Structure 1
Amino acid sequence: MAAAASPVSVTSSPNYRTNPSQTRKLPSQSWPPTTPTRFSQPLSSRRTSIAGAAQSMKQSSSSAQPNPEVHLSLDAVQRFIHLNFGNWTGTFHQFDSQGNLMHKISTKLAAGSYGEDELISLIQTLYIKQPPSTTSFSGIDDDEAEWSEYKIKEINMFTMDKYQQIGFFPKERAFALRYQTAGMLETVLRQGVLGEDDIGEESPKNLKLPSRQPSIVCENCLYSLEKDRRVRAFHVMDPKGILDMLLVFLEDRGSTAPIPPTFDDSQDYGDRIKPFLGTWKGHSITKRSGVYGATLARADTVAVLEINKDGQLIQDIASTLEGRDITTNVHWTGTMSKNLVTFDGGFQLILLPGGMYMGCPCDVAKCVQESKSFHLEFCWLESPGKRQRLVRTYDVEGLAVSSTYFLESRFTLDKPFASRITVILAVQYLHSEDLNQKQNFLLIVLNMLSKFF
């Protein structure tokens, strides 16, 4: 597996043990910390127009138009800092590759900025709540809890484009970025699970740590459509390109609630898939990286996920480029085992609590060997009728090709509308010269006919 050649994007201690000077008591009255540095100038009101469709990137590259705003401008950097700015209280969740919850850790994050103009940087300090030491007295309350302090490497105009390869959607309030190490994530686990009892073992008992040489560490961040909340979801792939673990921060900004937000992980396996079943209609916005032409594209999307009479999951995705009569169709058949959905072709969805799933190839190395691009996906269904998705696509070298944001609403087909859709698909079937595409059109048409006629 060829890993992305980039400098380390997160700071980490060489010996993987927290420096004692970094660990300190953080009484509740000490939070939030001193107000972070404010911007030296107001943020511009200019908005970047972005668009696209992940499933049709290759077909759409010729139609997407170069856009000078794709490269991160000062305005985009300021917007990114403003989006992250503030004091965040939340919970860090560790899931194994099967979607089973392993650990929950309380966290706090203070994000501010320093510098002006092109030199402005995002500065973040993460506080990790430590468990009581096995040698300490019992009965310590939250006000006296020990918190480990971890300073995340700064983000600025230079690092965003060159190192993190950030795919940023200012208006949609979403972003994807990369890391080359999992040092920050390992620190959260060590300090949040072991605390002062950490003796620096490479493989502590009862604690699974991410690989120190991961092939990919990808963060996808989606902000709530309803409140000042966000989810930061991390895919960690091991050196062989196999999913190592999934890590999720659920955070509220400016919250003073005594109990941080967390997930209800008591759902039965079958209940986790139910919210995603049905028809979803929306649009996608794709931002391709500068290496691949620095283009933007927009598409209308329809995604259908159903369980057939044999218990198989059937997924059909149609993406139509805006302004062009070009539709790309993808048909997948999959099986479900507990929290894991595996589709033909080697792509899997890991179902998580909280209306979320994360998707990735079953074997990234196989994609690389076959010279195929691959993608990682994060979906958040915050309410029953609306969901957001973020897809990060990579080439065989592990470099980010594009980032795609989806906003979709649950759609109920009535018979008249289904009739129109069936006619349109039937016409496309008759005019298509691609055999695979004809088969996909035919399957969708037959599915429509079986439902309504």
Structure 2
Amino acid sequence: MNSQWTALLKNIGEWQGSFTRLSSLGEILEDTPSVVSLEGLDDNKKIRQTIRLGGSEKVLEYSSLARSVLFFDNGAFSQGSIQLAPFSEFGAEFGFIYENQRLRLVQLFDKNFQLDKLTLIREHLAGTQPPQKPSFTVEDLLGEWLGEAVTIYPDWRSPDSFSTKMQLQIDGNGRLTQNLTFDGRTISSTATIKNSIIHFDQDPQKQVQVLLLPNGASATSPLKLSMRQPFFLEVGWLIQPGLRQRMIRSYSDKGDWISLTLVTEQKI
């Protein structure tokens, strides 16, 4: 049994929660109760996945994983488009798992490569209580975060590990300043803040939006994708005060999916 399949098995169980459909600005459009069950068959060589969403039910069975998905050892994963192509929809799902909770988020872009809609999926194992989380604000992110990152690759090369440091603060003009250090490099950027939207607007060609969403979720993406520029999609989860995970799905300037990174960081 390979390590990817073993990591998938960390998600076995009955997960109760809801699918929340959101606009590209993070506005809640629809919230539908859900039950997603993953059951191991044939000594866990196969998976039966049952999705009950509102009044509908869908059952899937599989014994292998698609090229479009990668799992980390703890069961976190991302699946989605492996290539940005003209006149086609593009998107990805990110899934985190922590004790009795899962948080998943789907980002979808339209055929013009503009951010179109999102789906936030908040789940807990059947028989357990979901934690009650306060609203997620910029203030929850301010400070210094130290993390450990693991990068895995769709071509199956060996993973890379490195330390990270992120510093976030508000400057005298009310802008958010971010200094991110990873793999020996430091990137500095600034953003405007409007309610639950953070907008990195320094480079007109690479404008990036961060949406702060319920249950500590955040969604980071370019406002519009480009065929000729590298880009990334990121989803974060503030699991509890001072503990956060972020997952980054990176694409090359040719639009190819090249890596997936999971950062686990703590505020100091």
Aligned 8 A contact 2:8 2:71 in 1: no
Inter-CA distance 288–81: structure 2 relative to 1 (3 Å threshold): closer
Q: Deviations 1:356-376 (Å, cap 9, x if unpaired)?
A: 2110111113xx2xx221111
Contact 1:229 1:251 in 2 (8 A): yes
What is the CA-CA distance between 1:156 and the residue it aligns to? 3.4
Alpha-carbon spacing, 1:349–1:289, altered in 2? closer, same or farther (3 Å): same
- State how far apart, in whole Å, the 2-side matches of 1:276 and 1:112 are: 37
Asked if the contact 1:88–1:255 (Cα under 8 Å) also holds between the matched residues in 2, the reply is no
Partner of 2:195: 338
Aligned pair partner of 2:9 in 65, 70, 82: 82
The one-character-per-residue Cα deviations of 1:279-328 (angstroms, maximum 9, x if unpaired) are: 101111111221xx7242111111011110101111100113xxxxxx10
Q: What CA distance in whole angstroms lies between the structure 2 residues aligned with 1:214 and 1:402?
A: 21
Q: Distance in 1 between matches of 2:16 and 2:50?
A: 12
Is 1:177 aligned to 2:79, yes or no? yes
1:270-289 mapped onto 2 (5 Å cutoff):
272-289=137-154
Q: Using a 3 Å threshold, how does the CA distance of structure 1 residues 107 and 214 change in structure 2: closer, same or farther?
A: farther
Question: Is 1:381 matched up with 2:242?
Answer: no
Instruction: State how far apart, in whole Å, the 2-side matches of 1:273 and 1:228 are.
Output: 26
Runs of 5+ consecutive residues of structure 1 not aligned to the other structure: 1-73, 130-146, 181-212, 321-326, 412-453
Deviation for aligned residue 1:392: 0.6
Amino acid of the structure 2 residue aligned with 1:348: Q
Overall identity of the aligned pairs, in %: 24
1:362 aligns with 2:223: yes
Q: Return the alpha-carbon distance in structure 1 between the equivalents of residues 195 and 150 of structure 2.
A: 32
State the TM-score, normalized to the length of structure 1.
0.54
Structure 2 residue 186 is the aligned partner of structure 1 residue 329 = yes
Aligned 1:96-245 pairs, distance under 5 A: 96-115=23-42, 120-129=45-54, 147-152=55-60, 154-157=61-64, 159-160=65-66, 162=67, 165-170=68-73, 172-178=74-80, 215-224=89-98, 227-245=99-117
User: C-alpha distance in 1, partners of 2:241/2:91?
Assistant: 30
Per-residue CA deviations over 1:74-113 (Å, capped at 9, x if unaligned) read 3324313421212111111111111112211100112123
- Residue type of the alignment partner of 2:168: L
Q: What is the root-mean-square deviation in Å for CA atoms of aligned residues?
A: 2.3
Q: Secondary structure at the match of 2:137?
A: helix
Can you list the C-alpha shifts for 1:384-416, whole angstroms capped at 9, x where unaligned?
1111111111224543210000010101xxxxx
Change (3 A) 1:230 1:178: same
Q: Does 1:248 align with 2:109?
A: no
Q: Distance in 2 between matches of 1:96 and 1:150?
A: 25
Aligned-partner SS, 1:364: coil
Match among 154, 162, 166 for residue 303 of structure 1: 166
One-letter identity of the residue aligned with 1:215? E
Match in the other structure for 1:95:
22
Residue of structure 1 in register with 2:209 after alignment: 348
Matched to 2:189, the amino acid is W
Q: State the shift of 1:255 in Å.
A: 2.6
Aligned residues: 260
Higher relative contact order (CA 8 A, sep 6+): 1
Partner-residue secondary structure (3-state), 1:354: helix
The answer on whether the counterparts of 1:77 and 1:156 sit within 8 Å (CA) in structure 2 is no
Matches of 1:116 and 1:396, distance apart in 2: 42
Distance 1:396 1:303, change over 3 A: same
Q: Distance in 2 between matches of 1:319 and 1:410?
A: 16
Q: Distance in 2 between matches of 1:317 and 1:179?
A: 27
* Separation in structure 2 between the aligned mates of residue 149 and residue 219 of structure 1, nearest angstrom: 20
Per-residue deviation at 1:352? Answer: 0.7
Q: Which has the larger radius of gyration?
A: 1
2:250 equivalent in structure 1: 393
Gaps of 5+ in 2: none
Runs of 4+ with >4 A deviation: 260-264
Normalized per residue, which structure has more strand? 2
Deviations 1:258-293 (A, max 9, x none): xx77876xx4xxx62111111101111111221xx7
Structure 1 position 148, deviation (Å):
1.3
Distance (whole Å) between structure 1 residues aligned to residue 63 and residue 254 of structure 2: 25
